[in-house]
Amino acid sequence: MTGPTVSSPLLSVNSLKVYFPIRKSLFGRSKEWVKAVDDISFTIKEGQTVGLVGESGSGKTTIGRTIVRLQDPTSGSILYEGKPIHNLSQKQFRPYRKKIQMIFQDPHNSLNPRLTIESILREPLDIHFPGMEKKQKKEKIVELLEKVGLSAEHLYRYPHEFSGGQRQRIGIARALAVGPKLIICDEPVSALDVSVQAQIINLLMDLQQEFNLSYLFISHDLAVVEYLSDYVLVLNKGRIVEEGTPEEIYKHPKDAYTKKLIASIPSI
């Protein structure tokens, strides 16, 4: 923990609401809404991991997308280091993309199949560090690959030549390229074998230690969330039904929905 901002949170989400219209009346005013995110508040401190657990349709992905401005909020605010970011234009938000990055669920769909790994990792550097020298960029790319357990020999290969776990590593390297402080991990291990899942979770923990990263870790699997998180929010139909430290939640679940989630975890 460094700097003067330790006490104030890195990210704070206040009474966030995201509604989607389903039916429109004659004059274009929406009559009915899907309340995807309904009055959600939470904070993430530097170096902390907050876990968001819930089923499909609980609104967990929408929260992540709203934070990175891929989705407009209906109301509420999102503050990054105390400054509102929810109402910025895409251009105004650009500097924050350096601070907040995202890792997606499906590593097959989130990497451009026609680009080599080098180009995939070069893109964020070209956009956010236009002044960086070519040679320097190359060194940075190799360094990133090594950080995530790959090496320079992978530079000129295409995404399809990699396994699911390796592709997720590339996705993580891409997120790390711009030196973010917060990474939104949207179901980063759900599409992977349990054995590979273990490797990726370990990698995320190591990187967090090394770079003092904060994570918003989104998953439907409470057992996975619990491994990484300092604080867990349980989401159901757009609302937080329970929150607390992972120990509190799995030892003394209060809400019926949380109990159901815990009961569903395959265990040995």
Partner 1 sequence: MLLQVEDLHVHFLTQSGEIPALRGVSFSIEKAESVAIVGESGSGKSVTALSLTKLLESPPAIYKKGKILYEGVDLLSLSQKELRKYRGGEIAYVFQEPSTSLNPVYSIGFQLLEAIELHQPHLKDKKSVGLEVLQKVGIVDCQMVWKSYPHELSGGMQQRVMIAMALLCKPKLLVADEPTTALDVTIQAQILELFAKIQKDLAMSVLLITHNFGIVKGFSDRVVVMFRGQVVEEGPTEKVIYSPTHPYTKALIDCVPRLGEKGKRLRAIDYSLIESSLNL
Task: Tell me how far, at minimum, the Cβ of 29 lies from partner 1, in Å.
Answer: 26
Closer residue to partner 1, CB minimum distance, 8 or 163: 163
By the rule CB under 8 A, 34 interacts with partner 1: no
- For residue 185, what are the β-bridge partners? 103, 217
Residues 170-199 interacting with partner 1 (rule: CB under 8 A):
193-199
List 226, 231, 233, 258, residue binding partner 1 (CB under 8 A): 226
Q: Residue 26 or residue 194: which is nearer to partner 1 going by CB? A: 194
For residues 184, 237, 239, 5, the Cα torsion angle rounded to the nearest 10 degrees is 0
Cα 221 to Cα 131, 190, 232: the distances in Å are 42, 8, 12
Among 3, 130, 131, 266, binds partner 1 (CB under 8 A): 266
Choice between 175 and 232, CB closer to partner 1: 232
Q: Considering the rule CB under 8 A, would residue 142 count as an interface residue with partner 1?
A: no
Closest CA to 190 of 200, 178, 175, 205: 200
- Structure-block tokens of residue 248: 């509190």
Q: How far is CA 174 from the centre of its chain?
A: 13
* Residues 49-88 as x/- pattern, contact with partner 1 by CB under 8 A: ------xx--------------------------------
Q: Could you tell me which residues are beta bridge partners of residue 38?
A: 17
267 lies in the binding site for partner 1 (CB under 8 A): yes
15 vs 202, which CB is nearer to partner 1? 202
Residues between 151 and 170 that touch partner 1 (CB under 8 A) = 163-164
| The only residue of 93, 223, 248, 255 in contact with partner 1, by rule CB under 8 A | 223
Is residue 224 close enough to count as binding partner 1 by CB under 8 A?
yes
Work out whether 26 is an interface residue with partner 1 (CB under 8 A): no
Work out which of 126, 139, 146, 247 binds partner 1, going by CB under 8 A: 247
Tell me how many residues contact partner 1 (CB under 8 A).
Answer: 35
Whole-angstrom Cα distance, residue 180 to residue 174?
10
- Binding of partner 1 by 255 (CB under 8 A): no
Q: Is 222 in the site for partner 1 (CB under 8 A)?
A: yes
47 touches partner 1 by CB under 8 A: no
Look at residues 172, 179, 183, 187 and name the one whose alpha carbon lies nearest to residue 11: 183
Please name the residues in contact with 214: beta carbons below 8 A apart, sequence gap of 6 or more.
10, 11, 44, 45, 46, 47, 48, 49, 50, 181, 182, 183
Nearer to partner 1, 164 or 179 (CB): 164
**What is the binding site for partner 1 (CB under 8 A)?**
55-56, 163-164, 193-199, 201-202, 205, 220-224, 226-227, 229, 246-247, 250-251, 260-268
